[in-house]
Amino acid sequence: IYRNLFLSIETVSLIISLPKVRIGEKTINGLYTYQYTFMENELDNGAINPENKCFCRQGLCLKPGLIDVTDCYYGFPIALSYPHFYKSDPSLVEAIEGLEPKKEDHESYFFIQPKSGIPVDIAFRFQINMALQNIEHMARVEKFSELTIPLLWFEIGMYELPKFMNLRFWLYLNILPVMEEVMTYVLFLSGAMLLIWSIVKILSYQAKGSSEWLEMEKDRRKTQNKKQVELKDKEIDAYNSLLTSGDPSLALVV
């Protein structure tokens, strides 16, 4: 996941696609994460965000902070918001007693490890409301006219990875890259040293072989010279022995 990349979450039950924006970074249980939340004014019917104008019904737009999803719930006047009308029009909060919107309790957040894309800590929080229109003509319920009534809010969360999985990803993302880099340098140095050692051995062998050949050539020449000297000595001795024997015919033959 790139640092400035926008993410999007799509839900079947809410029938909307909500983009998320990165707002920070945090290390959780040894895992480096990007923190995401929903974009500002995303739950708006066109008053602030023109792209959401399509959620208005017959030109009637709900207050900022509400998304009309009536068509997705079989015609029931259902509107979505953040819990306790967090980041919604202040009049929605004032109309209902007991609401206390708080960022730490009602804002959705997503901590995602960027290299692997795994969610490390997430909380998906939404509220389902009944958005009533003008019903003053209906007896006994006229006081609810044009009132947005909270029905329920829910939180879907995964607040940490299982320990064995967290340890596995910690090793995979933090330790293995370091070991890989170290092993790369070790193998490179080992290969360079082996190459240098091989070159030295080859040169040494060639030098040794050349010197041995010279020694052998010298010995061969010495042996040859020695044999020639011995042969001459034998010829001289034989000639001398013939001379001393007093047989001129043998001397002549020689």
- Binned at pLDDT 50, 70 and 90, residue 56 comes out as confident
CB of 35 closer than 8 Å to CB of 110: yes
- Nearest one of 8, 141, 157, 134 to 83, comparing CA atoms: 157
Q: Residue holding tokens 């029931």?
A: 76
- Binned at pLDDT 50, 70 and 90, residue 217 comes out as low
Which pLDDT does position 214 carry in this prediction?
67
Which pLDDT does position 143 carry in this prediction?
78
What does DSSP assign to residue 201?
A: H
Q: Lowest-confidence range among 95-104, 120-129, 139-148, 221-230?
A: 221-230
Question: H-helix or E-strand containing 119?
Answer: strand 119-131
CB of 149 closer than 8 Å to CB of 99: no
DSSP string covering 45-59: SSSS-GGGGGG-BTT
Which pLDDT does position 231 carry in this prediction?
64
pLDDT above 50 (res 221) = yes
**Mean pLDDT, to the nearest integer, of 209-213?**
63
CB of 27 closer than 8 Å to CB of 35: no
- The structure's pTM equals 0.66
- Binned at pLDDT 50, 70 and 90, residue 18 comes out as confident
Which pLDDT does position 134 carry in this prediction?
79
Q: Name 134's Cβ contacts closer than 8 Å, sequence gap at least 6.
A: 145, 146
pLDDT above 70 (res 225) = no
Q: How far apart are CA 108 and CA 123, in angstroms?
A: 5
Question: H-helix or E-strand containing 10?
Answer: strand 7-11
Which pLDDT does position 126 carry in this prediction?
92
Q: Which residue has the higher pLDDT, 31 or 15?
A: 31
Which pLDDT does position 125 carry in this prediction?
92
Mean pLDDT (the chain) is 80
